[in-house]
């Protein structure tokens, strides 16, 4: 359903305010690789190489020495006729870290310092480009030990394409590009894409990017004998561009995995003429942030214009991340209240550092629903239901204060007259 003009202007204003959240932070430690293993009756995990955790990243999970005492609710996911549990292996978390770390090269305007990048990340391949608005790079680890593999815990034997986030809230041209309300059919696909993300990808260095990705894949020979993994990633604006790149690289026999953080909506939905079936959304892992106050990443929840949709596995991060909240494939609910702070790069960096500091027996980190007692705003966030902003395993009985009919066993939450005030109680 289309928003009115006034609602569109309000959304534009909120978007401009939220874009002012984009700030800088220091470079964290690096990481690596991915793939999904499905096995009947076993936990499916996303695989990536392990690396040591720096002493500064040490953290205890809820003051517990390990995760063995915790009993997270795992969410069974249907895959064909099988049912399995989805979890994040430590190596996949390291890949998240590796991809996010490159955003700081963009932020420091240092992506063209190839020698420094190669030394910092131990790269076997690195090329980067930028113009006045946008930037991209292609990188692969493995320079030091060519025999190291993603199985042995060495380097990430994968080719990474990383796309730049908005560099500054004062970069007017870049912000106008982000907020361009128009969309266009992406040729060769059945998708309509927001014009701003198309402009960010189809630019003057696109041929260089495509060529570098193909050369990187040709140099990448995993010891497993499988095809070289291709990983596309981005934060905020870069997350939307990564989706466009995934569609484009299919024409070059690549089937990328997409990892995004606080990604903006790039795909236009709800148009039967453009169902966007050419995009394999099951290969997109979309991470968004939240906090203990029950606030959500403001940018990732922007819907401007109204027909834009989010795609991919929706995974919500918080301070605990055990279990990590899995909201579903192609889940597209707007979540409130917003927090601009939850879109900051350092907030995502802190979440990943916390994941890396978890004890080994926490992995794979289960993707499921929040347990009873966790703050919430929607039922789909809880193993049970969300009652009065708290996950609970049971509904409220008669006479208990309530917010909606869904909170009550009776299905009725009605207004009552109390002493000097009105209140709502379950029937």
Name the token pair of 140: 């692969």
Angle, helices 114-121 vs 90-107, to 10°: value is: 160
Q: Judge whether residue 4 has pLDDT over 90.
A: no
- Tell me the average pLDDT across 310-332: 93
Least confident of 10-19, 64-73, 321-330, 412-421: 10-19
Q: Which residue has the tokens 């994968």?
A: 158
Least confident of 18-32, 81-95, 221-235: 18-32
**Is it true that the peptide bond before 305 is cis, omega within 30 degrees of 0?**
yes
- Tell me the average pLDDT across 169-182: 76
Question: How far apart are the C-alpha atoms of 321 and 352, rounded to whole Å?
Answer: 10
Burial of 25 (0-12, 13-18, 19+ CB in 10 A): middle
DSSP string of 244-269, one letter each residue: HHHHHHGGGT---EEEEESPPP-EE-
> Nearest-5° angle of CA 182, CA 188, CA 190?
60
Name the token pair of 171: 């970069």
CATH of domain 5-373: 3.40.50.1820
Name the token pair of 358: 């978890």
Name the token pair of 223: 């010891």
**Residues 379/385, Cβ–Cβ less than 8 Å:** yes
Domain ranges of the chain: 5-373, 395-426
- Beta-carbon contacts of 226 under 8 Å, excluding residues fewer than 6 positions away, are 35
- Tell me the average pLDDT across 397-420: 86
pLDDT in tens, 191-218: 999 999 999 999 999 999 999 999 999 9
Helix (H, G, I), strand (E, B) or coil at 140: strand
Helix (H, G, I), strand (E, B) or coil at 56: helix
- Tell me the average pLDDT across 307-319: 95
Angle, helices 345-356 vs 90-107, to 10°: value is: 150
Helix (H, G, I), strand (E, B) or coil at 98: helix
Average pLDDT of the chain is 79
- Beta-carbon contacts of 90 under 8 Å, excluding residues fewer than 6 positions away, are 48, 50, 356, 360, 363, 364
Q: First CA to last CA across the chain, in angstroms?
A: 34
Q: Judge whether residue 308 has pLDDT over 90.
A: yes
For position 85, what pLDDT does the model report? 58
Question: How far apart are the C-alpha atoms of 378 and 389, rounded to whole Å?
Answer: 8
* pLDDT band at residue 18 under the 50/70/90 scheme: very low
Least confident of 60-69, 195-204, 258-267, 333-342: 60-69
Helix (H, G, I), strand (E, B) or coil at 209: helix
pLDDT in tens, 47-100: 222 232 233 333 333 334 457 555 455 454 444 444 445 788 887 888 899 899
For position 187, what pLDDT does the model report? 97
Helix (H, G, I), strand (E, B) or coil at 418: strand
- Beta-carbon contacts of 87 under 8 Å, excluding residues fewer than 6 positions away, are 43, 44, 45, 46, 74, 363, 364, 365, 366, 367
Angle, helices 237-249 vs 206-219, to 10°: value is: 70
Select the more confidently predicted residue: 30 or 126.
Answer: 126
Q: Judge whether residue 325 has pLDDT over 50.
A: yes
């Amino acid at each position: 359903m289309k928003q009115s003009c006034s609602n569109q202007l309000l959304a534009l204003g909120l978007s401009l305010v939220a874009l002012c959240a984009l700030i800088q932070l220091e470079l964290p430690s690096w990481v690596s690789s991915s793939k999904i293993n499905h096995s009947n009756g076993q936990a499916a995990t996303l695989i990536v190489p392990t690396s040591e955790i720096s002493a500064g990243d040490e953290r205890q999970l809820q003051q517990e020495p390990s995760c063995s005492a915790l009993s997270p609710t795992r969410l069974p996911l249907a895959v064909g006729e099988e049912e399995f549990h989805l979890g994040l292996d430590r190596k996949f978390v390291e890949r998240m870290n590796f991809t996010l770390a490159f955003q700081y090269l963009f932020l420091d305007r240092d992506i063209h310092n190839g020698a420094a990048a190669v030394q910092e990340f131990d790269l076997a391949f690195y090329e980067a480009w930028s113009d006045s608005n946008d930037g991209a790079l292609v990188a692969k680890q493995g320079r030091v030990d060519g025999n190291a593999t993603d199985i042995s815990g060495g380097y990430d034997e994968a080719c990474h394409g990383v796309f730049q986030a908005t560099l500054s809230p004062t970069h007017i041209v870049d912000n106008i590009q982000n907020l361009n309300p128009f969309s266009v059919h992406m040729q060769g696909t059945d998708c309509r894409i927001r014009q701003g993300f198309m402009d960010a990808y189809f630019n003057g260095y696109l041929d260089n990017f495509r060529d570098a990705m193909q050369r990187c894949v040709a140099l990448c020979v995993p010891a497993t004998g499988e095809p070289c993994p291709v990983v596309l990633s981005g934060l905020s604006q870069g997350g939307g561009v990564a989706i466009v790149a995934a569609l484009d690289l299919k024409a070059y026999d690549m089937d990328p995995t997409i990892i995004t953080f606080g990604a903006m909506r790039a795909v236009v939905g709800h148009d039967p003429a453009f169902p966007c079936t050419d995009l394999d959304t099951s290969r997109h892992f979309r991470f968004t942030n939240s906090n203990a106050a029950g606030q959500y990443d403001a940018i990732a929840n922007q819907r401007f214009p109204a027909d834009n949709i989010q795609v991919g596995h929706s995974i919500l991060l918080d301070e605990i991340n055990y279990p990590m909240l899995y909201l579903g494939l192609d889940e597209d609910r707007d979540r409130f209240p917003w927090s601009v702070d939850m879109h900051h790069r350092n907030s995502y960096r802190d979440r990943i550092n916390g994941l890396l500091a978890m004890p080994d027996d926490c992995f794979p980190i289960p993707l499921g629903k929040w347990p009873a007692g966790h703050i919430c705003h929607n039922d789909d966030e809880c193993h049970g239901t969300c009652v009065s902003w708290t996950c609970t395993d049971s509904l409220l009985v008669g006479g208990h204060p309530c917010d909606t009919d869904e909170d009550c066993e009776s299905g009725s939450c009605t207004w009552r007259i109390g002493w000097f005030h009105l209140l709502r109680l379950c029937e």
